[in-house]
Amino acid sequence: MNPQIRAVTGDLPAPGDRVPSPYRTFSRQEWAELRADTPMTLIESEVLRLRGLNQDLSIDEVVDIYLPLSRLLSLYVNATQDLFKATRYFLGARDGKVPYIIGIAGSVAVGKSTTSRVLQALLTRWPNTPKVDLVTTDGFLYPNAVLERENLMHRKGFPESFDVAALLKFLSRIKAGERNVAAPLYSHFAYDVLPPDQVVVVDNPDILIVEGLNVLQPGRLPRDGKAVPFVSDYFDFSVYIDADKETLERWYVERFMTLRQTAFRDPGAYFHRYSTLTDEESVATARDIWRRINLVNLEENILPTRQRADLILTKGEQHLIEEVALRKL
Ligand SMILES: Nc1ncnc2c1ncn2[C@@H]1O[C@H](COP(=O)(O)OP(=O)(O)O)[C@@H](O)[C@H]1O
Ligand SMILES: CC(C)(COP(=O)(O)O)[C@@H](O)C(=O)NCCC(=O)O
């Protein structure tokens, strides 16, 4: 069979077949050049704001990688909104705005939260100053009480630990243009979902960034003839952040060591007991959690979703993006 037809029909290619990649791949340098002639300078207050998001973030990284990405996204958002306006015009409708939703996926500790916050800051600086909101899917984890009852505490972050129905309902309300839609919040300090009086309210943004381990995972197969959507059915664009497993383990352990000297010191922290461990015991504990839980989840449930993303950002050892792959098909 013609390899192109094979790619479309989903048949496995035979050895030696060359199936065209759906991605166009850029080196760091090539990607940085895609700034074109758009003004890409950051004013002092923006640099300070970005530094405040993460002290380790390199401003070169923002300029070379994230500014071109925010330029691309701005073009995509405008094109999608024009299409929406055309439909509204055709239907004779006057009101309504549908938020553009960007999904950000990847392993625990790959830098999803940091990237999302950088993108949020950069997207708001475009001339039409869009309102950009951010939601993390860990708020949709079942509370510890439920996970304990179902014997799922050691499966936190796995597909079965999330209330996917609630996440889908949240996204459908956002896409329906509803205002003031609440999303639950997760606290790493409490290691649990916060009570319902502490939520994030999403009020009809131009852009919503949805970040989490599970955002590109497939849904259940339809039951009783009822189609169950995927979370990503609500996305207009998706990003997968990638890095080597060994590097990810190091970042996880480093973050754990920092938390041990900061947040875990507070007697109210769920993991307060870790603050009294020696350095060696802490590294061993973090590695054990990584290998038993987060690495298994990465291999079984997260990495297999990488090829579903519109954009894959591959990081090197110091969090610098080394390669960018943009879906062209
Ligand atoms: N671009 C970056 N530059 C430097 N450090 C980063 C960057 N992104 C993430 N980090 C660091 O890596 C660790 C994991 O990042 P985080 O955003 O918390 O990941 P995730 O949300 O995927 O779990 C944190 O210690 C964070 O400070
Ligand atoms: C709550 C999480 C699933 C979310 O991960 P994140 O998206 O913040 O990277 C994760 O931080 C977690 O708690 N995993 C379980 C094992 C652990 O304690 O790391």
Residue 224 has pLDDT above 90, yes or no: no
Residue 309 has pLDDT above 90, yes or no: yes
Counting every residue written for the chain, the total comes to: 329
Residue 170 has pLDDT above 90, yes or no: yes
Residue 25 has pLDDT above 50, yes or no: yes
Are residues 112 and 242 in contact, defined by beta-carbon separation less than 8 angstroms? no
What pLDDT does 163 receive? 96
What pLDDT does 2 receive? 46
Residue nearest to atom 23 of ligand 1 (CA): 109
Residue nearest to atom 13 of ligand 2 (CA): 156
CB 113 less than 6 A from any atom of ligand 1: yes
What pLDDT does 11 receive? 57
131: alpha, beta or left, given left = phi > 0 and alpha = psi -120 to 50? Answer: beta
Residue 18 and residue 75: Cα distance in Å, rounded?
32
CB 117 less than 6 A from any atom of ligand 1: no
Which ligand sits closest to the CA of 56? 1
| CATH code reported for the domain at 22-327 | 3.40.50.300
Residue 12 has pLDDT above 80, yes or no: no
What pLDDT does 6 receive? 45
Residue 211 and residue 117: Cα distance in Å, rounded?
10
Average pLDDT over residues 295-322: 97
Residues at CB less than 6 angstroms from ligand 2: 108-109, 112, 138, 156-157, 212-213, 289, 293-294
One-letter identity of residue 100: Y
Residue 10 has pLDDT above 60, yes or no: no
The candidate with the shortest Cα–Cα distance to 138, out of 180, 185, 92, 181, is: 185
Average pLDDT over residues 139-151: 97
- Contacts of residue 38, Cβ cutoff 8 Å, sequence gap at least 6: 71
Average pLDDT over residues 138-167: 97
List, for residues 49-64, the tens digit of each pLDDT value.
Answer: 887 788 888 888 988 9
What pLDDT does 41 receive? 63
What pLDDT does 199 receive? 97
Residue 246 has pLDDT above 50, yes or no: yes
> What is the chain's mean pLDDT, rounded?
90
Give the model's confidence band at 3: pLDDT under 50 very low, under 70 low, under 90 confident, else very high.
very low
Residue 9 has pLDDT above 60, yes or no: no
Domain positions in the chain are 22-327
What pLDDT does 131 receive? 94
Residue nearest to atom 8 of ligand 1 (CA): 111
CA of 112 relative to ligand 1 center, distance in Å: 7
Residue 7 has pLDDT above 50, yes or no: no
Residue 42 has pLDDT above 80, yes or no: no
Residue 141 has pLDDT above 50, yes or no: yes
Residue 248 and residue 110: Cα distance in Å, rounded?
6
Residue 92 has pLDDT above 90, yes or no: no
Residue 196 has pLDDT above 70, yes or no: yes
Residue 108 and residue 106: Cα distance in Å, rounded?
7
Average pLDDT over residues 78-98: 85
**Does the complex come out with an ipTM higher than 0.90?**
yes
Which ligand sits closest to the CA of 136? 2
CA of 108 relative to ligand 2 center, distance in Å: 6
* Proportion of the chain above pLDDT 90, given as a percent: 69
Give the model's confidence band at 8: pLDDT under 50 very low, under 70 low, under 90 confident, else very high.
very low
CB 247 less than 6 A from any atom of ligand 1: no
Residue 180 and residue 200: Cα distance in Å, rounded?
9
What pLDDT does 13 receive? 61
List, for residues 252-293, the tens digit of each pLDDT value.
Answer: 999 999 999 999 999 999 999 999 999 999 999 999 999 999
Closest atom of ligand 2 to CA, residue 211: 7
Mutational pocket test of ligand 2: of 107, 134, 138, the residue with most ligand atoms within 8 Å of the beta carbon? 138
List, for residues 108-121, the tens digit of each pLDDT value.
Answer: 999 999 999 999 98
* Binding-site entries: 106-113
